[in-house]
Structure 1
């Protein structure tokens, strides 16, 4: 039973259709992979930028903490000085501590 030319053409047409579908799937997969690589690069860039911003924020935080500690120390000294002056004026018993 020899295949006819028409049957051979149909098989060839089906094979070409499968090949085209396969190529389309492959191209789409490559496009998605390229998109994922681009997205990954953007995320890495964002991570690096955020790390730099975090370092800057931590540096500022440490400076603010040091300034707050200094202000607290000065306020305690001022309170102590005021209490000493009032105690010397006889208006306040000095606190122990």
Structure 2
């Protein structure tokens, strides 16, 4: 009786798919600052020194992470000027 139940359950269950056939392409969690600038601004990217000044002023959100001597940032990060946002909120446009 128990063997019949196990055999029935095995017949109903789909066969397991091998993990090697499922290939996911994942985006990196963090990318170097220079790569982010190239993706964000293209050929008109500002110098790396300017972008480091933006980091110090808090103008990139979410903020980059410093690992050793280099900064790494999330691919979806963007340039945000806090002064302009404050002004827009004060006049009710943002």
TM-score, length-normalised on structure 2? 0.29
Larger Rg, first or second structure (1 or 2): 1
If each structure's helix is expressed as a fraction of its own residues, which one has the higher value?
1
Higher relative contact order (CA 8 A, sep 6+): 2
User: Larger % of strand: which?
Assistant: 2
